Chain A
Amino acid sequence: MANVLWLQGGTCSGDTMSFLNAEEPTACDLISDFGINLLWHPSLGMEMGEELKQLLQDCVSGKIPVDIFVFEGTVINAPNGTGEWNRFADRPMKKWVEELAAIANFVVAVGACASWGGIPAMEPNPSESQGLQYTKKKAGGFLGADFRSLAGLPVINIPGCPAHPDWISQVLVAVATGRVSEIELDKYHRPKAFYNTFTQTGCTRNLNFTYRASAIEFGQPNSDCLFYDLGCRGPMTHSSCNTLLWNRVSSKTRAGAPCIGCTEPAFPFHELKPGTVFKTPTVMGVPKELPPGVKPKDYALLTMVAKGITPEWVEED
């Protein structure tokens, strides 16, 4: 049995909505069959009002142990560091976060916002939003780079905008079944199990990537690759979107929508400045950002070879 407390800050509730799409286990199964005791959640919790405040205070005081504190959304600090732009039960939410993070065995940031700020923290960041332990790529965030939860771990980041339901439920199940020690984290504190491969792994456009068959505009019936012209970040983004699939049936890149890198701390990339949306920035025809480990010189060579040997059927595929 694991006690889970889930709160929301500067959020759209998209991670919660994503979580409710889970199957095997469903959100209901997770609670009834997997020993997850959801102490409270903004969409599902029964304890309310003063009862909720009492519950939160009992958590803070240690009377009710909190195995996992899940936070969704940014920590809002505006105006001027007070946090008054996001009040929860007559109090800035950031104060609850500070106190609850200090008593939880594990702290989980669900979604891009809680992990590193996401969309609200985009320039000019009017709400002075931070992630729990990062703001963009910069370690620190609201809780500080040295923060460790009672179990000795940093904040476990489950980024994504939103996070995939399985990423959330599997981490909860791992903790509830005592296998948390087997969760390895990467350098941005993401569980490697879900983030050690690239979004491109499993993409149905991979052959066309290899042969450099590029989609130059949207809505095409073939499987041309979205990386070369349409800004797809699949080769540079860590996620299991194309191996677990979304809503059980597809993924953005499979459907023809470029990956926008929403599991990475720099999301949204280039702050969505003019000319950067759904477009691959290039220098002399070479994408400015290449798949990790590929050198521009080798890329040019590869392109030449790939173009030269592309079988005819690729154009149709």
Chain B
Amino acid sequence: MAIKTLKISPLGRVEGDLDVRVDIEDGHVVNAWTHAEMFRGFEVILRGKDAKAGLIVTPRACGICGASHLTCAAWALDTAWQTEVPRNAILARNLGQLVETIQSQPRAFYGIYATDLTNKKYEHSPFYEEACRRFTLYKGTSFEQGVTISAKPLEIYALLGGQWPHSSYMVPGGVMSAPKLTDITKAWSILEYFRKNWLEPTWLGCSLERYEEIQTYDDFLAWLDESPAHSNSDLGFYWRMGLDIGLDKYGAGPGKYMSWGYLPHEDKYQWPTIEGRSKATIMKGGIYNSFTDTHSEMDQSFVRESTARAWYDEPLNDIHPFDRTTKPSTNVAKDYEGAYSWSTAVKHQDLGRLEVSPLARQLIAGGRHGEDWQHYDGFILDAFKKLGGASVHLRTLARMHEAVKLYRQAEHCLREFRLQDPWYIEPEAKDGQGWGATEAARGALSHWLKVKDGKIANYQIIAPTTWNVGPRDGEGNRGPIEQAFIGTPVEDSSNPVELGHVARSFDSCLVCTVHAHDAQTGSELARFRTA
């Protein structure tokens, strides 16, 4: 069977436009290349600027994950300056991070992902008509409700930082604000509104407490069968439809997963250090290797970046982010044998390419590594094993599974604020090296910072999308999304919605266009969308 090449341009995402090339044989993808197509050069801009400039600049790297960038920027300065951060400030930063992610869950599911379920490919599915009723762009009952209510959690962010997106309220030594009792009570009311108007009635079809009883995949299936309210909730409906249309059958990816862990505990990270972070986060980080079924620790020193196949004029060997120089190339032709992306290839020095995502976080949450008190949840790891590994469907379930537990963490922050205690301790500026990390909605994010003579000597960001969408590395290994495309069925090359599902399951942030050409004739093959 001949190989057919589809070139898809663009498959956009928030940092710029993403193009994809896939080779298809016998109706399945056998090879794939991803191209990041926009470069602004924030690392270049930050060189020589005020040490605190990252607090203003980096949230603007991504309008969707701005709070996550701000979190990293603040902790990077804290570790570089060796500050003391009061517990109220840790809680206020965590709450900002949490509400951004809670916002992102419905926005990503309805706005970016679920509209694909109305694709004509599925018109013979018994679920199709209902999917259109719920998920159609603008008009779907759940689309409209979900996209609209996604703005609510951000009101809590505004109480803390004045506005979302793009506040800079997290600063070395704490936070700029000092919330009052009325801010806390208002935040409770907003959370409650979100729970009562979407999370419980629309998404779960049950109380948070009932959902929290689910510990295994069998528990989940039992919950699904327990009541029509469960099976017809958006979660129940989506899960059943996904199985019907085979979303559990493809989109696996590299099979190795990484998370930085996040939400530093308010009593355990008041004197932040790079080394001390992994033992101080409520949600533990680490690595899960599904080939050996083992969990292990992760450290920032294990990270390497390869620019061998990316548009940079830098050394070809793998280097640690602290040693990057970020020299963009003026030659940006797509060379499938050479450089073909603005994204670097990020890897673990020993384990190679790793997926970062809510799925990665949840597989790591199922490990018994880490500290006794850190968060443990075995549900998604159990489902992973029962279902035979990762897929588009499981990746999406993992993302939405986090909604309830993050809601609980937000409640924890509100309970733990002590209004008479400090929110900020004026730090002393110093030269040094810092590192800040968190988990954005889409996966692991971290900033590496070098301060010299009060100025930024080097600032390096590795975003979740950099991990996932990177091109091949120096050894020719595919990036995680490239790998996830392998084996994906493309039933109709004029409507390859399956490729959209794979890319969307990584939460690529923006709905996008896809344009396919027959590589041999150049004639148009497709008019379709991926999201």
Chain A contacts to B: CB under 8 angstroms: 10-18, 20-23, 26-28, 31-32, 42-53, 74, 76, 78-80, 84-90, 118-120, 122-127, 129, 161-162, 217-221, 241, 246-258, 260, 262, 268, 271-278
Contacts and interface: CB of A to CB of B under 8 A. Distances in A.
Contact of A13 (B45, B63, B513, B528): B63
Interface stretch (B163-171, B300-308, B367-375, B468-476): B163-171
Q: How large is the interface on B (under 10, 10 to 19, 20 to 34, 35 or more residues)?
A: 35 or more
A120 B112 CA distance: 26
| Dominant secondary structure at the A interface | loop
Closest 10 CB pairs of A and B: A219-B424, A14-B63, A252-B162, A48-B529, A126-B41, A219-B423, A246-B163, A247-B158, A49-B515, A255-B162
B49 interface: yes
B40 A42 contact: no
A250 B163 contact: yes
30 contacts: A15-B63, A28-B138, A28-B148, A43-B112, A47-B529, A48-B515, A86-B39, A87-B19, A87-B37, A89-B9, A89-B515, A90-B9, A124-B44, A217-B424, A218-B171, A218-B177, A218-B424, A219-B89, A221-B180, A246-B162, A247-B155, A252-B167, A253-B162, A255-B158, A256-B162, A256-B176, A262-B166, A272-B50, A272-B56, A278-B171
Contact of A254 (B147, B162, B175): B162
Nearest to A85: B39
Nearest to A120: B40
Contacts of A247: 151, 154-155, 157-158, 163-164
Contacts of B424: 217-220
A218 B162 contact: no
A52 B45 contact: no
A36 to B, nearest CB: 11
Given A247-B157, A247-B163, A256-B176, A86 B38 contact: yes
B159 A46 contact: no
Interface stretch (B255-263, B289-297, B403-411, B504-512): B504-512
A219 B14 CA distance: 32
A119 B57 contact: yes
Contacts of B528: 48-49
A218 B427 CA distance: 11
B16 A86 contact: yes
Nearest to A252: B162
A18 B38 contact: no
B298 interface: no
A13 B178 CA distance: 29
Given A252-B167, A256-B178, A124 B45 contact: yes
Interface string B8-27: 11101011110100000000
B453 to A, nearest CB: 8
B332 A84 contact: yes
Nearest to B63: A14
B366 to A, nearest CB: 32
A119 B45 contact: yes
A219 B524 contact: no
A44 B510 CA distance: 8
Given A13-B509, A87-B37, 18 more contacts: A10-B40, A26-B147, A32-B138, A48-B513, A48-B515, A90-B9, A90-B19, A126-B44, A161-B166, A162-B63, A162-B165, A220-B178, A246-B163, A247-B158, A251-B163, A256-B176, A272-B49, A272-B57
Contact of A89 (B64, B111, B513): B513
Interface string B148-192: 101100110111111111111101011111101000001000000
Given A13-B509, A124-B44, A250-B162, A20 B177 contact: no
B527 A221 contact: no
A234 to B, nearest CB: 11
Interface in B509-531: 509-516, 524, 526-530
B332 A85 contact: yes
B519 to A, nearest CB: 14
B68 to A, nearest CB: 12
Contact of A161 (B55, B60, B515, B530): B60
B144 interface: yes
B457 to A, nearest CB: 12
A10 B164 contact: no
Given A49-B516, A260-B168, A278 B52 contact: yes
B60 A12 contact: yes
A45 B527 contact: no
Nearest to B524: A50
A277 B147 CA distance: 35
B454 interface: yes
Contacts of A277: 50, 52-53, 55-56
A255 B175 CA distance: 10
Given A250-B159, A272-B50, A260 B56 contact: yes
B162 A257 contact: yes
A104 to B, nearest CB: 20
Contact of A17 (B39, B41, B165): B165
B196 interface: no
B86 to A, nearest CB: 8
Given A14-B60, A15-B63, A250-B159, A45 B180 contact: no
A214 to B, nearest CB: 15
A87 to B, nearest CB: 5
B426 interface: yes
B388 interface: no
A32 B139 contact: yes
A249 B41 contact: no
Given A49-B516, A257-B169, A221 B50 contact: no
